[in-house]
């Protein structure tokens, strides 16, 4: 250990859960103190010590026994079930470099798939997705992923409708504008403040609850439209409407119909700022298909009384109204429709571009959304160009591995899946965030080699051939900077790497030396040399905007840079509304495309030219509901970030009898003889899992909710169809693209049945270490 890490030390640091000071005694992390400027620090910070010193750290490079003995592809059907053999770093890196060389020589770089995910690290240098792309680009490129599981459908759709995906990725209209001007906030999916405690890239302040309380104090009224009442905090005293899952677009059509037939829509706004409203109105009023989409029609689909729908429409038109939808609404089959319909509904109200009005997506879905912030380019490691120039939609991994060469469509273009021989995963855990894990397991058996960098023995590491131990952020230096936060954070190394762990950057530097690209990859800079360089570049860019930041030494000593908020509240589409000629949208028309000719010409039945009600294959109004009568919603967890920290005490304490809790209504529990705390089997045709029942009147009858992130824990490792013992909802979710246009994940589309489990209870082993490791 370096002498600088001996004694009692305090190190500035940052994470997705917030900024903090790491307290170190004699080289061991003993405390985590929240950032003094954070008014509401996340309790998840308390899990960091557990995570760093977890028993299931990957401590040495390890090779799956079958791959080591038989070579690439050896006993690959045993991935997840076979023992590992520890090896030296030199042997491991030689094997990885040799395998990259073999695949490139025999199949080309298009046979390499580089999987990663942005939540693996808050740091900008040691960001696994970025550093992996930089390395692979130096050796000829790779097949990658585009968009994110969180908002893939919106990222693909919104550029057609609005010219960019900004309404989902941000910035959106600020909470300061909403607090000053909004009379009514209508929240489809609620405002789940549990999600506000995490922000990709790190955060210096958690303000979600503070801003909501300010808006409420100013007289704003809130309507929570969600099957789960708890998707809105109790202090909001919101009106609650609990529709059937997936019926949101039908409910919005019923609201729009009331506006249209009662003359409460803004014709002038629709004429000046939008195209295609008459085509949509013909559908809305039923003149094109004979079925008016009135409140009575909507009520039959969504289960909300027709008069409540009409009354809400009138209130929306009577004052300044902000419409929002959670990102979960577009993570479903036909997930384009509720987002497109929300835009159309806001356009009919005519308040887009006005302070506190219009629409925005994702408020409270991730920390910092809507918080006042001056947009400033953060430090960023350049990746260089990818010579392969190919990628797949983020959620189509199983399709790609199972169907090499098969044609598919995405964003209006014809494509074909590559024939992948090597999967290189650096950061992230697809056995957490991908749908239909049994299907993924079948797909995962296809590549010849799977390489994984990982600090812990996650399910993805356990299903790999070569596992390289990676450091956590506390074991290296970095810079954190969230896209929605006002702070840049010094992430100072607090402790020495555990076991033989190395940073992803150092791992790739070692591979680059073996493959002859070291100078291109490192540019001769050390870790601190890169951090100083990246900060200086970003500081110069800030200076060009007349924003003065301290030099690197001043930043590093202080531990953070605070960027002043803008003087005026930000209003999305404000410039467009003020002058649509000088500030057109980047659509073909320059306006909001309620009817999109570009999409219409594609002829997709699952995503036509204007928003519609398109019933998904699985919902409570589908024939499948007779066999599986409960709709499963997989929410973000309150006690961890996705699957991160699941192995720590803070996550385990939120479980019951070692299993994830599934929420169900008293009516559904009584009908099945289920009581509070019972272990239940949740199942459908795709798989089955065990969970602990939590009975609550916050859930709409017919709907159950199971948080994501319980580590995949099959009763029979490596076996397709095995029972998950721990409660991972992706055993049951639908792995189908949202539409041919966007190909997003359909995780919220899942019908299930629940029954009490009265048999022997298998031990949870998700956080154990595989044999040999």
Number of residues assigned to the chain: 773
Give the pairing type, strands 422-426 and 8-15: unpaired
47-73 burial, b at 16+ Cβ within 10 Å, e below that, comes to bbbbbbebebbbbbbbbbbbbbeeebb
The reply to whether 117 belongs to the active site is: yes
Going from the C-alpha of 61 to that of each of 86, 502, 607, 667, 717, the distances in angstroms are 6, 10, 47, 51, 21
Q: Are 409 and 601 in contact (CB under 8 A)?
A: no
Catalytic residue among 17, 53, 67, 119: 119
| Catalytic one of 17, 67, 89, 117 | 117
- Cα(254)–Cα(302) distance, rounded to whole angstroms? 10
The β-bridge relationship of strands 184-188 and 321-325 is parallel
What is the C-alpha separation between 620 and 27, in angstroms, rounded?
56
Residues near 693 by beta carbon (within 8 Å), at least 6 away in sequence: 661, 662, 664, 669, 674, 675, 676, 677, 678, 679, 680, 754, 756
Q: Note if 570 is an active site residue.
A: no
82, two tokens: 């076979």
Place of tokens 């159309």: 344
| CA torsion through residues 19, 23, 28, 31, sign | negative
CA atoms 696, 245, 319, 232: torsion sign:
positive
Instruction: Report which secondary-structure segment, H or E, holds 67.
Output: helix 65-70
337 CB contacts (<8 Å, ≥6 apart)?
Answer: 249, 611, 612, 613, 614
Taking the C-alpha atoms of residue 639 and residue 655, their distance in angstroms, rounded to an integer, is 9
Contact residues for 566 (Cβ-Cβ < 8 A; gap 6+): 372, 373, 374
Per-residue burial over 235-252, b if 16 or more Cβ lie within 10 Å, else e, is ebebbbbbbbbbbbbbbb
In 3D, which of 586, 611, 576, 605 has the Cα closest to residue 277? Answer: 611
Asked if 333 and 749 count as a contact pair (C-beta separation under 8 A), the reply is: yes
Two structure tokens written together for 443:
């797909």
Number of neighbours of residue 673 by Cβ within 10 angstroms: 10
Cis-peptide into 171, omega within 30 deg:
yes
For residue 692, CA distances in Å to 465, 706, 755 come to 33, 10, 11
CA angle 454, 455, 456 (to 5 degrees): 90
Angle between helices 152-162 and 336-349 (to 10 degrees): 40
| Residue 618 half-sphere exposure toward CB, CA atoms < 13 A | 27
Give me the residues paired with residue 752 across strands.
630
Annotated catalytic residues are 117, 119
């Amino acid at each position: 250990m370096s002498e600088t890490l001996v004694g009692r030390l305090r190190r500035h640091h940052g994470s997705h859960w917030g900024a903090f000071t790491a307290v170190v005694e004699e080289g061991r992390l003993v405390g985590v103190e929240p950032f003094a400027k954070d008014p509401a620090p996340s309790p998840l910070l308390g899990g960091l010590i557990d995570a760093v010193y977890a028993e299931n750290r990957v401590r040495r490079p390890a090779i799956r026994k079958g791959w080591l003995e038989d070579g690439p592809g050896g006993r690959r059907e045993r991935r997840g079930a076979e023992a590992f053999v520890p090896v030296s770093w030199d042997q491991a890196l030689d094997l990885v470099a040799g395998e990259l060389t073999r695949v490139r020589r025999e199949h080309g770089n298009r046979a390499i798939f580089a999987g990663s995910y942005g939540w693996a690290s808050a740091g900008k240098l040691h960001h696994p997705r970025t550093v992996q792309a930089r390395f692979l680009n130096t050796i000829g490129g790779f097949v990658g992923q585009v968009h994110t599981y969180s908002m893939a459908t919106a990222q693909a759709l919104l550029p057609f409708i609005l010219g960019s995906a900004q309404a989902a990725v941000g910035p959106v209209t600020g909470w300061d504008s909403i607090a000053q001007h909004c009379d009514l906030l209508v929240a489809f999916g609620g405002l789940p403040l549990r999600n506000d405690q995490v922000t990709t890239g790190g955060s210096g302040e958690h303000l979600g609850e503070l801003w909501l309380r300010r808006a409420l104090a100013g007289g704003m009224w809130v309507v929570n439209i969600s099957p789960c009442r708890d998707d809105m905090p109790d202090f909001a005293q919101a009106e609650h409407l609990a529709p059937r899952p997936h019926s949101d677009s039908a409910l919005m059509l019923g609201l729009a119909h009331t506006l249209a037939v009662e003359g409460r829509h803004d014709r002038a706004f629709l004429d000046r700022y939008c195209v295609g409203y008459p085509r949509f109105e013909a559908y809305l009023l039923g003149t094109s298909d004979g079925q008016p989409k009135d409140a009575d029609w909507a009520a039959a689909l969504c289960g909300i009384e027709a008069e409540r729908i009409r009354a809400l429409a009138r209130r929306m038109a009577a004052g300044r109204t902000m419409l929002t939808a959670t990102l979960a609404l577009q993570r479903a089959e036909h997930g384009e429709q509720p987002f497109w319909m929300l835009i159309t509904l806001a356009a009919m109200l005519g308040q887009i571009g006005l302070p506190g009005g219009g629409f925005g997506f994702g408020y409270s879905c991730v920390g910092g959304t809507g918080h006042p912030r001056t947009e400033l380019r953060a430090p960023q490691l350049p990746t260089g160009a990818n010579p392969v120039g190919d990628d797949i939609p983020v959620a189509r991994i199983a399709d790609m591995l199972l169907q090499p060469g098969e044609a598919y469509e995405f964003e209006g273009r014809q494509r074909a899946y590559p024939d992948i021989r090597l999967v290189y995963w650096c950061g992230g855990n697809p056995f957490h965030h991908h749908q239909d894990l049994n299907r993924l397991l079948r797909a995962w058996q296809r590549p010849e080699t799977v390489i994984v960098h990982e600090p812990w023995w996650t399910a993805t590491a356990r299903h790999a051939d070569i596992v390289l131990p990676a450091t956590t952020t506390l074991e290296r230096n970095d810079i954190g900077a969230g896209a929605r936060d006002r702070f840049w954070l010094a992430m100072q190394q607090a402790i020495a790497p555990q076991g033989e762990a190395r940073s992803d950057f150092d791992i790739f530097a070692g591979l680059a030396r073996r493959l002859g690209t070291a100078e291109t990859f490192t540019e001769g800079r050390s870790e601190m040399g890169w951090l100083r360089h990246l900060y200086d570049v970003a500081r110069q860019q800030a200076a060009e905007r007349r924003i003065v930041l301290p030099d690197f030494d001043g930043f590093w000593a202080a531990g953070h840079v605070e960027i002043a908020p803008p003087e005026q509240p930000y209003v999305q589409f404000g410039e467009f509304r003020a002058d649509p000629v000088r500030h057109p949208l980047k659509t073909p028309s320059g306006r909001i495309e309620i009817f999109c000719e570009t999409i219409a010409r594609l002829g997709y039945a699952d995503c036509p030219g204007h928003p519609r009600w398109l019933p998904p294959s699985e919902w409570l109004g589908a024939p499948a509901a007779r066999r599986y009568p409960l709709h499963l919603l997989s929410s973000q967890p309150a006690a961890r970030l996705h699957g991160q920290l699941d192995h720590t005490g803070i996550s385990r304490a939120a479980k019951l009898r070692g299993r994830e809790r599934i929420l169900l209504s008293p009516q559904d529990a009584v009908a099945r003889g289920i009581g509070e705390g019972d272990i239940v089997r949740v199942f459908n045709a795709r798989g089955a899992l065990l969970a602990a029942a939590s009975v609550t009147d916050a859930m709409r009858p017919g709907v159950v909710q199971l948080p994501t992130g319980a580590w995949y824990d099959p009763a029979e490792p490596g076996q397709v169809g095995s029972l998950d013992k721990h409660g991972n909802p992706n055993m049951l979710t639908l792995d189908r693209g949202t539409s041919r246009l966007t190909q997003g994940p359909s995780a919220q589309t899942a019908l299930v049945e629940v029954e009490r489990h009265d048999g022997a209870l298998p031990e949870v082993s998700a956080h154990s270490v595989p044999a040999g490791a």
